[in-house]
Amino acid sequence: MIVNIITLFPDMFSGVFSESILSRAIQGGHLDVRLVHLREYGLGSHRVVDDTPYGGGGGMILKPEPIAAALENLPERGRVILTTPRGRLFRQADAMRLSSLDVITLICGHYEGVDERVSELFVHEELSIGDYVLTGGELPAMVIIDAVARLMPGVLGHDTTVSGDSHYHGLLEHPHYTRPREFGGLAVPEVLFSGNHEQIRAWRREMAFRKTRETRPDLIGNAMYGGEGEDKE
């Protein structure tokens, strides 16, 4: 997958892409990240990329011309996504959908926002990673790329690793245990030593449902009890 990232701060991504799973995905040829420095497409000798908002108000707005020029200079653009607090909430279903694409382009919003004509002319969807405001769209872009990349075939190496993740079937993930068998006065549930795989699966489904009901009851309507639910928009 080719991932274009249009950003004012490309250096923010260096650590993210040089470590762990994302680094392996890039080295393995599964992920081709192309950072585009928006300032290079700024206007005039000062490379201006922002301006004051029409109608007054505080802050600055990213101008449309530099973003348009950056997009038009891309060899492949694919699906264009703007990271913005006003966007639709990014969910596991979105990560799964985007992981099947060959090319995506992420525009990292900044300042008070992006000129609306960018969205109207170029953007396919606006995404947010939560109901809060960050200083820029770089961190959301990192989150989206991480969530998408780990679902791509060959990145993690074990398909079963992601199929049991929280949100994969609409429920939160069941509890996990490893050695020692007892810790802090708490013992690992006996069912996990039973060797009965059907009982273990049933226990995990029940625990996933219980955890979801306690922590995120809003998700219950998006999942079927048996763990075969589907995400809904």
Measured distance CA(127)–CA(91) in Å, rounded: 9
CB 45 within 8 A of CB 72: no
Summarised one tens digit per residue, pLDDT across range 42-96 is 999 999 999 999 999 889 999 999 999 999 999 999 999 999 999 999 999 999 9
Q: Which CATH architecture has domain 2-149?
A: 3-Layer(aba) Sandwich (3.40)
Lowest mean pLDDT of 19-28, 71-80, 219-228, name the range. 219-228
Give the pair of three-digit tokens for residue 62. 């990213």
Sheet holding 103-108, edge to edge: 32-37, 2-7, 103-108, 79-89, 125-128
**Residues marked as catalytic:** 85, 112, 150, 165
β 79-89/103-108 pair status: parallel
The top-level CATH class assigned to 164-222 is mainly alpha
Report domain extents, the chain.
2-149, 164-222
pTM metric for this prediction:
0.83
Query: How crowded is the C-beta side of 29, counted as CA atoms within 13 Å?
Result: 0
Mean pLDDT score across all residues of the chain: 90
